A = this chain, B = another copy of it.
Amino acid sequence: MELMSPIDSIFLLGEANTRPMHFATLELFEPPRDAGPDFVTRLHRKLLDDTEIHRTFRRHPVHAFLADKVGWVTAAEIELAYHVRRRTLSGPGDNYELLELVSDLQSVLLDRSRPLWRMYLIDGLDDGRFAVYTKWHHAAFDGISAQRSITRTLSPDPACPDVHGWWHPRDERRGKTASAGRTSASLRQKLSAALQFAPSLTAVVAEALWKNTTPLPFSAPHTMFNVPVHGARQCAARSWPLARMTPIRQATGCTVNDILVAMIGGALHHYLIGRDALPDRPLIAMVPISLRDRKGTDTGGNRVAAALCGIGTDVADPAERLAGIAASMRRAKELHSALTATQSMTFSALMLSPLALTVLPISAPAVSTAPVNIVISNVPGPARALYWEGAKLAANYPMSIVLDGLALNFTISSNIDAIDFGIVACRDSVPDLDLIVDYLEKSLAELESATAVGSVTAPRS
């Protein structure tokens, strides 16, 4: 048995049936032209034969005899057929049916007596594509290690017949030796080191986050999204072409990330008005941002910080909302530049994960003063087309974690020239999630109109 880092064990100790601590990836693939009707069947069979399994995918937790201590054991073998399942939609095979299945799967805890991941190959979509939904427990994986497992498994060559599962140990492209959880481990090790200097996790977060980094501590209004959550989830997914952001970016000087946050601010403005639940004060989002574009003093590679950003839900004008968000994000970046290396490093890991939120003083049922209303993460995806046994990765939706006090999560990824939104909500607390998706489109169209590059099909309302 290997003792688990405090960071990883928090995801297990804090987990409950209403608070699963796994995130997921939902990928859509376009089968190659010559794919027969049994393409997914053959792919599934090939994956089940891929029984060489990296130890990261064979580890499962055990409770040590001392309370609150959790360790890892590495199983010699695992039941691959349990971890790699197939599902077929019953019909009509539309987006709604796919996302209802994904919502059911997202609601369910992983079994701790087995390695903390499961993958589902899903066919029966009416457009001929197939989906791969993978659950990754946050105690064993983080978004970056999951994304790297996926990217490393796929190939830029559509003719590459080399199908492997995420779990297959393989050399890094360009010939380097790598292990599946390598980046992650290194990130986690750094965080553990940083935490040794701190009296407690809470103190680190309070010190670094609330004192130094933001003009808006605890000014978030209470909203319908800041309630204790129930067990059932609802997932939504939608893609937008990156090309629609470009003219807005050029017209305003804002970043693409600013525009994505503004899309969400606008969508929630409309949604909350529709439910007669819009607060006077703006909703506050926690937005992990990269600090890498600063002058090259940080060689560590993991300079990520949390911007706390008012997302302008109180502002009716889309252009004014975007400008406010861009200013807020710039201010956050400036503040983060002043952080010490240790503070920044602590952030690096904390802000990549919902861990930061689990140690914040949010606890059900006392969620009357939420420090933030919502988390908006943006995890970069592949920049070029990737293939799996000739099937092209067409979309790549991250599905993140919902917590008590944070019943709605937006996580955004990208795939070549598309922006892919993955949205997860507590099914009871956030009704009509599809409306929010529609309002994202409406909000983008409003930004297009407002910056005078507008889509004529989507008038301002």
Contact = CB atoms under 8 A, between A and B. Distances in A.
Nearest to A17: B109
Contact of A90 (B88, B104, B112, B230): B88
A232 interface: yes
Interface in A165-206: none
Contact of A111 (B40, B85, B232): B232
A123 interface: yes
Interface in A87-115: 87-91, 100, 104, 107-109, 111-114
B428 A113 contact: yes
A82 B123 contact: no
A427 B41 CA distance: 25
Contacts of A104: 85
**A82, A90, A230 — most chain B CB neighbours (10 Å):** A90
A69 interface: no
A230 B111 contact: yes
Given A113-B428, A231-B113, A90 B82 contact: no
A104 B86 CA distance: 12
A265 interface: no
Interface in A14-33: 17-18
Contact of A82 (B85, B91, B108, B427): B427
Nearest to A426: B113
A124 interface: yes
Nearest to A114: B232
A230 B41 contact: no
B230 A113 contact: yes
Interface string A21-62: 000000000000000000011000000000000000000000
Contact of A109 (B85, B124, B231): B231
Contacts of A40: 90
Nearest to A82: B232
A112 B89 CA distance: 26
A232 B110 CA distance: 9
Nearest to A60: B230
A428 B82 CA distance: 11
Interface string A400-441: 000000000000000000000000000110000000000000
Nearest to A112: B231
A226 B88 CA distance: 37
Contacts of A230: 111-114
Given A108-B108, A113-B232, A232-B113, A88 B88 contact: yes
Contacts of A18: 111-113
Contacts of A114: 230, 232, 428
A90 B231 contact: no
Interface string A142-180: 000000000000000000000000000000000000000
B124 A88 contact: yes
A86 B82 contact: no
Contacts of A113: 18, 230-232, 428
B428 A123 contact: no
A114 B40 CA distance: 35
Contacts of A85: 100, 104
16 contacts: A17-B109, A17-B111, A18-B112, A41-B90, A41-B91, A82-B232, A82-B427, A85-B100, A85-B104, A108-B109, A111-B231, A111-B232, A112-B231, A113-B230, A113-B232, A114-B230
Closest 4 CB pairs of A and B: A113-B230, A111-B231, A88-B90, A86-B90
